[in-house]
Structure 1
Amino acid sequence: MPVMASTLQTPASPVRPATVGETDAERRKRLRTVVAASLLGTTVEWYDFFLYATAASLVFNTLFFPDQSSFVGTLLSFATFAVGFVVRPIGGVIFGHIGDRIGRKRTLAITMVMMGVATALMGVLPNAASVGVVAPILLLLLRIVQGFALGGEWAGAVPLSVEHSPERRRGLFGSIPQIGLALGLALGTGVFALLQVALDDDAFLTYGWRIAFLVSIVLVVIGFVVRLKVDETPAFAEVTELAQQSSAPIREVVTPPNTRNTVLGLLARWGEGSAFNTWGVFAIAYATSELDMEKVPVLVAVTIASVVMAALLPVSGLLTDRFGAKPVYLAGMAAYGVSVYPVFALFGTENLVWFTVALVIVFGVVHALFYGAQGTLFASLYPTRVRYTGLSVVYQFSGIYASGLTPLILTALIGAASGSPWLAAGYLALTAVISVVATTLIRRDDLHLATGVSAVEAEHEPRASAPVTETEPVPVG
């Protein structure tokens, strides 16, 4: 069993340049900047990435694959959506290496610019009617750039937030990048719904959808400026000062003693990835094609559920600080597993009210419970020196099977079952079971960030003036 210790308890530990001599006012200002950088940055990048997902359900199958049947066109559109997830691990490994070598701040600035440029260029792409097969090829290439850039986003935003956090607010700060994802999805679906209300069908398909993509330029500029203002994390500053950066982070992540946590992390995320891309992506296509619901009300329903999730994610973060990341993640994942069949039953009523209620419960509430704890839990799997790379590997490699392929798998399963959703629902429930088992097997002694300190324990523990930067594992509640 590893010795449980931290540099907070080591007298020889060097001073952290980002926080030494910091006044309360300076500390509050630093934390506000960190929150803004994490929240705005992830919101912008996920807006860009999931804007494509919404367009894949409503636009790209018609404009870029027009000669196919509705079913095949949707499959092809989702296939280009999945490509973004396939290339994300490559970006994750490369940006993870850069982030663990030169820092979180500069790496995140690079990923944001790449994502913004790719998304804006999608907004000016010619369609298949204009340039034929060149159109879907260009769309695919830009999707690859999107996926490559996003590969380094989440895994950098989480350490940026967690490693700046006050010691007893690690769970809350770890939930901030997740809020950006929910807001990014809400913005994407909300903008599409607004444009469809403001424009008729012809105008929307001709130029309206492009506006949503071009708006990305403005959002990227704002997010980029904010991210340039944030300090490098105290944890990484200490690693740099001690010259302890890993020369080969990816090798450390996949070899002992990190192998076990990497495998369990990959499996623990399966349920989360399948859940998000079912309720946030697939549900739109399912409702509009299989259930014959109107596009705008469906988009509004997803937007409402996303906003509810964004509002509840900090609650999950506070629960993480109180009970620990692992118990909160387990509770949420188990709730997801048992809710899948009832949710599809409500979808089957083909009633918009019940569709919205189901989405708000399973996506807005249940998803928020485990998703708010996820960032802190997965950040705890790795020490500071390889945390960016470790998070990239777990999040992005699992994204291939857990996220990117989910709409394809569900579409195929429903097609094989002649329109019945129950086989697809069984697949989703299975992913939840896998994640529950994997999370249960994560050992608290193998984790590297302390959370779940109770109020009573906190009163009897010494207070730290700066975030903990561990060199050896410390227990997580």
Structure 2
Amino acid sequence: MTIERSPSKTAAQKQMRPLRVATASFIGTAIEWYDYFIYGMAAAIVFGPLFFPSVSPAAGTLASFATYSVGFLARPLGGIVMGHFGDRVGRRSMLVISLLTMGFATIGIGLLPTYDSIGVWAPILLVTLRFIQGIGVGGEWGGAVLMAVEHAPERKKAFYGSFPQMGVPGGLIIANLVFLGLTTNLSDEAFLDWGWRVPFLASAVMVIAGLVIRLTISESKEFEAVKESSTEHRMPFISVLREHWREVLLSAGAFIGINAVGYIFMSYLLSYSTGVLGLSRNLILTFTLVASGVWLAVIPWASALSDRRGRRGVLLVGSTGLVVCAAALFPLINTADSALILLALLATAVFMGMVYGPIAALFSELYRAEIRYSGASLGYQLGSILGGGIAPTVATALYNNWASSTPITLYLTAVTLLSLGCVRLITRERGPRRPA
């Protein structure tokens, strides 16, 4: 009896392992993106008056989003450094380091004195901690996606790879719930005085939970095979640039549009709708929360569909839909009609999910296992700088200069069209390579 049950148990454990790894990737990624998003929400609401009080409200908001963009400048550095060691030492250790890095910076922001207390050192320290946040999240994405994809069954790579992708709207949902709870139950004065610090300090509990989870997962067989065969590259980053520069550029271009729309959706719209249109902060937070739930649900569905039907079709439909949403988003928001605003956010969320889910597997399949962390991270993080990294700052500057959202609409339409073209090229000319 023992001999008969043992193989069955082992087989069950092997079947559960990909799901366990993917779930761990989702939880850890959601925690890191929660940390990242609460900064964006605070930048939209409180960082202007607290850290840049000597300038006008409009200039303070612009300065806040400029510090927000600093985190994106650091993301390629995190991707390069952690990608290097992730390809040489292991994926899991880099995931632990990235989580600790993000947690340290986020808690530090929650404890940071404001301009009234320490003067110019307040914005300097804020920028420094934001830069550290960027390093942490820059190294996070590649490791989390590769752990999920490399552990996955061959015909379910995109589905399992979508779990860390779901961590992005997952983190946004948690951040929105926390901010919504605080702004609902605190006066504006209390929130500005101390309430804004709570989301940052609460990160400590989640970081500890994330570390416990991440320490329970093991390296993938693909990476273990690289170690056993001693085929690691001495400088994976250089190998990627020398052998796969086209894939890096195309993947960066393919990601710019979804990332720009995503960060307008997640950050700038809160500032614009409350500051320019005078809409209720809680209304926009609630709508964003609902749309984020739709975004999260679409990601695994679209990813599973791409496993069955192919990456190209799903990504092209999603990218085309994003172009339409980019053109319609601000005109619908400007109506100040609650139903139309919700419709705009829900439609945007659907097409963001169709692009964001399958793109993780697509990027990972472009590179061999021994350089995959570096390659996938580099394209993704370069796209993040040119997409979400500058989008809120560009949007704020465009509105301040033109007093109209039309230039923002033209900007978003242009970057989504660029990404649509890159998606067509990367899926037609190269196609997703199967792991070596």
TM-score, L = length of structure 2: 0.95
Q: What residue is the counterpart of 2:282 in the other structure?
A: 296
Residue 361 of structure 1 pairs with residue 342 of structure 2: no
Q: What residue is the counterpart of 2:129 in the other structure?
A: 142
Deviation at 1:444, TM superposition (A): 5.6
The aligned runs of 1:369-384 (5 Å cut-off) are 369-384=354-369
The aligned runs of 1:67-106 (5 Å cut-off) are 67-106=54-93
Q: Which moved more, 1:88-97 or 1:289-298?
A: 289-298
Structure 1's unaligned 5+ residue stretches are 1-19, 451-469, 472-477
Structure 2's unaligned 5+ residue stretches are 1-6
Residue 430 of structure 1 pairs with residue 417 of structure 2: no
Q: Is the 8 A contact 1:39 1:177 kept in 2?
A: yes
3-state SS, counterpart of residue 244 of structure 1: coil
**What amino acid does structure 2 have at the position aligned with 1:115?**
M
**What amino acid does structure 1 have at the position aligned with 2:92?**
K
Q: Distance in 1 between matches of 2:326 and 2:428?
A: 29
Q: Distance in 1 between matches of 2:122 and 2:213?
A: 35
| CA shift digits 1:37-57 (9 cap, x unpaired) | 111110000000111001000
The structure with more helix, counted as a fraction of residues: 2
Q: Distance in 2 between matches of 1:137 and 1:415?
A: 24
100, 110, 126: which one pairs with 2:97? Answer: 110
The aligned runs of 1:311-330 (5 Å cut-off) are 311-330=297-316
| CA shift digits 1:298-349 (9 cap, x unpaired) | 1111111111111221101111111122321121011110122222221011
Q: Is the 8 A contact 1:284 1:299 kept in 2?
A: yes
Q: Distance in 1 between matches of 2:223 and 2:8?
A: 18
Residue 349 of structure 1 pairs with residue 335 of structure 2: yes
3-state SS, counterpart of residue 163 of structure 1: helix
**What amino acid does structure 2 have at the position aligned with 1:387?**
R
Deviation at 1:354, TM superposition (A): 2.1
Q: Is the 8 A contact 2:51 2:123 kept in 1?
A: yes
The aligned runs of 1:73-472 (5 Å cut-off) are 73-256=60-243, 258-362=244-348, 364-418=349-403, 420-442=404-426, 446-447=430-431, 449-450=433-434, 470-471=435-436
The aligned runs of 1:19-38 (5 Å cut-off) are 23-38=10-25
**What amino acid does structure 2 have at the position aligned with 1:365?**
V
Q: Is the 8 A contact 1:326 1:377 kept in 2?
A: no
**What amino acid does structure 2 have at the position aligned with 1:326?**
R
Quick one: structure 1 residues 193 and 443, their matched pair in 2 at CA, closer, same or farther if it must change by over 3 Å?
closer
Q: Is the 8 A contact 2:186 2:195 kept in 1?
A: yes
**What amino acid does structure 1 have at the position aligned with 2:373?**
Y
3-state SS, counterpart of residue 172 of structure 1: helix
Q: Is the 8 A contact 2:325 2:344 kept in 1?
A: no
Deviation at 1:401, TM superposition (A): 1.5
Q: Distance in 1 between matches of 2:86 and 2:14?
A: 24
Q: Is the 8 A contact 2:316 2:423 kept in 1?
A: yes
Counting aligned pairs with the same residue, the percent is 38
| CA shift digits 1:101-158 (9 cap, x unpaired) | 0111111001001101110111111111111111111111111110011110011111
Deviation at 1:60, TM superposition (A): 0.6
Q: Distance in 2 between matches of 1:119 and 1:46?
A: 11
8, 16, 28: which one pairs with 1:41? Answer: 28
Q: Distance in 2 between matches of 1:443 and 1:305?
A: 28
Q: What residue is the counterpart of 1:6 in the other structure?
A: none
Q: CA RMSD in A?
A: 1.6
**What amino acid does structure 1 have at the position aligned with 2:42?**
A
How many residue pairs align between the two structures?
430
Quick one: structure 1 residues 228 and 323, their matched pair in 2 at CA, closer, same or farther if it must change by over 3 Å?
same
Q: Which moved more, 1:440-449 or 1:51-60?
A: 440-449
Q: What residue is the counterpart of 1:3 in the other structure?
A: none
3-state SS, counterpart of residue 30 of structure 2: helix
**What amino acid does structure 2 have at the position aligned with 1:119?**
T
Q: Is the 8 A contact 1:278 1:407 kept in 2?
A: yes
Deviation at 1:289, TM superposition (A): 1.0
Q: Distance in 2 between matches of 1:397 and 1:264?
A: 10
Residue 52 of structure 1 pairs with residue 52 of structure 2: no
TM-score, L = length of structure 1: 0.87
Q: Distance in 2 between matches of 1:229 and 1:29?
A: 14
Q: Is the 8 A contact 1:382 1:447 kept in 2?
A: no
Q: Which moved more, 1:342-351 or 1:176-185?
A: 342-351
**What amino acid does structure 1 have at the position aligned with 2:210?**
G
Q: What residue is the counterpart of 1:466 in the other structure?
A: none
3-state SS, counterpart of residue 215 of structure 2: helix
Deviation at 1:230, TM superposition (A): 0.6
Deviation at 1:297, TM superposition (A): 1.3
Q: Is the 8 A contact 1:382 1:448 kept in 2?
A: no
3-state SS, counterpart of residue 231 of structure 2: coil
Deviation at 1:350, TM superposition (A): 1.1
Q: Distance in 2 between matches of 1:125 and 1:145?
A: 14
Q: What residue is the counterpart of 1:458 in the other structure?
A: none
Q: Distance in 1 between matches of 2:371 and 2:292?
A: 32
| CA shift digits 1:261-302 (9 cap, x unpaired) | 111111111111111111111111111111111211111111
Deviation at 1:250, TM superposition (A): 0.7
**What amino acid does structure 1 have at the position aligned with 2:382?**
F
3-state SS, counterpart of residue 196 of structure 2: helix
